[in-house]
Amino acid sequence: MTMNLFACCAFLALVLCLTSGLEIGKHSEGQKRIHGNLGIINGKKASIKKFPYMVALIIDGSLQGSGVILNSHWILTTAFNVAWVPSDELEFRAGSTTYEQGGQTLTAEKVVVHENYTGSWDYDIAVVKLNKPIKLGKKAKPIKLGKKDLKGKTKVVASGWGPSSEYGNPSPNLLSGELTVLDWDTCDETYPYDLTSRLMCTSDTNVAPCGVGVAVVCLVQLTCMTVKPKGRLW
């Protein structure tokens, strides 16, 4: 049975990101993006009211990825989304089911990327301070962060924007899908690359999140990317 595997960079405490982070523009020269495309394969349309913590990240009018609301002033996303882009080019849309219109449009004041991020999956996490606060309400709420690691066979829900099929066109509508967490031994044996304790895997025969900044939620908040079993990046 073929499994869709994805490695996820687990949430690191916000204080770690802020005190040990690296501000945008200070990365080493020559670093390259290595992640895949956006989307939740076989995901179903969802309402922002069900996932009010989700925000879409727009750069130059195009969807770049997703993020989640930490509070009215801060967004959590992947370092890959923002590490090589000037902060004044980042735009977030909160409180809308579609990334193209509606809700609130917000811009970035400052980007803080984890100091150990080098372009790989490890430490792929960043926080963004907004120029103005989000108006919180039914369609825009902070995510509830968990305090425990996930065990094998735990069900999680992924949400984000992008294509719902591997080679499909991007859907402007928010998508979601359920996945199952793999235990660490199975993940380590099955996954083709070296993993660290800061990463996790899920398996599912139908749903796969291949978004940059796709949110996977259960007991902890994660930001994710997807690869196939043989290691080809999506």
In a domain, 233, yes or no: no
* % residues pLDDT > 70 (the chain): 65
Higher pLDDT, 107 or 224: 107
Question: E strands within 29-153?
Answer: 40-41, 44-45, 54-59, 62-69, 74-77, 90-94, 104-114, 126-130
User: Is 71 inside a domain boundary?
Assistant: yes
Helix, strand or coil for residue 190? helix
Specify if 21 maps to a domain. Answer: no
CA–CA gap between residue 89 and residue 158 (Å, rounded)? 26
Helix H or strand E segment including 16: helix 14-19
pLDDT at site 191? 72
- Asked which of 59-73, 123-137, 138-152 is least confident by mean pLDDT, the reply is 138-152
> Is residue 184, in this structure, part of any structural domain at all?
yes
Where is 159: in which H helix or E strand?
strand 155-162
Q: What is the pLDDT of residue 96?
A: 98
> In whole angstroms, what is the distance from residue 104 CA to residue 145 CA?
23
Distance CA 3, CA 208 (A): 9
Residue 4 lies in a domain: no
Residue 49 lies in a domain: yes
Instruction: Write down the pLDDT at residue 48.
Output: 96
Is the separation of the CB atoms in 120 and 195 below 8 Å?
A: no
Where residue 67 sits, what CATH number does that domain have? 2.40.10.10
Q: Is residue 189 part of a domain?
A: yes
Split at pLDDT 50, 70, 90, the class of 99 is very high
Pairwise CA distance, residues 89 & 107, whole Å: 8
- Under 8 Å between Cβ of 212 and 64: yes
Number of domains, the chain? 1
What is the tens place of the pLDDT at every residue in 169-185?
667 899 888 878 888 78
Lowest mean pLDDT among 50-54, 55-59, 184-188, 205-209: 205-209
The residue segments making up the domain with residue 61 are 39-223
Q: Does 16 map to a domain? A: no
Indicate if the pLDDT at residue 3 is higher than 60: no
Q: What is the DSSP letter of 233?
A: B
57 pLDDT band (50/70/90 cuts)? very high
Beta bridge partners of 192: none
Alpha-carbon span 123 to 213, nearest angstrom: 13
